[in-house]
Structure 1
Amino acid sequence: MDERWIEMLRSFVLACYEGIFIYLVLAIVMCSVLVVAAARTLIRQRDLDPLQYHEMLDEELAPAVSLLVPVRNSEDTIVQRISCLLDIRYARYEVIIINDGSEDETMRRLKETYDLMPIRSKVHY
């Protein structure tokens, strides 16, 4: 009786080894197929004309970008920083200035330079 159990256990272990071997061979074959397919795609796309960077910047379908600028006590540099951000050449972007509790004249300088006005809007949750 003991030899029969040992033989069954041995055949079970061998079957597991064979299953793992088959799985690994299939995984290696599939990875090889994917690598070959990716290489073919890269070779084909290398011959295409790449999209020029300046064309993408002027494209109206380019994704919109929001630039978040936290400011705190930067009265001396705020106008120069914001004007540099406004000079960016991109189709659709916005500059959002976050006044993080400035204790100097940062907000006054922004209001004077860019004619800022308060806007009351409802926040929807």
Structure 2
Amino acid sequence: MQTNDDLGKLVLRATLAILILFHGVSKLITGVDPIMGMLAKAGLPSGLAFLVYVGEVIAPLMILFGIWARLGAVIVAINMIVAVALAHGAQFFTMGKTGGWALELQGFYFFSALAVALLGAGRYSMGGISGRWN
């Protein structure tokens, strides 16, 4: 019996990758100066800000195309942990203006990335269902 598991994996991968990629493209256009400031304020080297391009451009492309998608998903999950720690920590236990969790978007990205890391890319990927890059 054929299932839609691989199609579901594609939808999950594409949704996560495309939505995160918007953030990465924005940073490619506007730069990472605000992130450098947050890192410096936290006592960390400001040059680490350039790693956001890995987490928000390269990793989403890995996920989208299904090449080392699990690794890309782990990178996105780590990126979200760092983003929450640096920019959204005060909102962790708060509700948003519309009644949802204030960090529901970050939570969606984190848990979707975790799901991709656990599930893999599936059949509809450049890595293939059991390809060495999946």
What's the TM-score bracket when you normalise by the shorter of the two chains?
under 0.3
Question: Which structure has more RCO (C-alpha within 8 Å, separation ≥ 6)?
Answer: 2
* TM norm structure 1: 0.24
* TM norm structure 2: 0.23
Structure number with higher strand proportion:
1
Structure number with higher helix proportion:
2
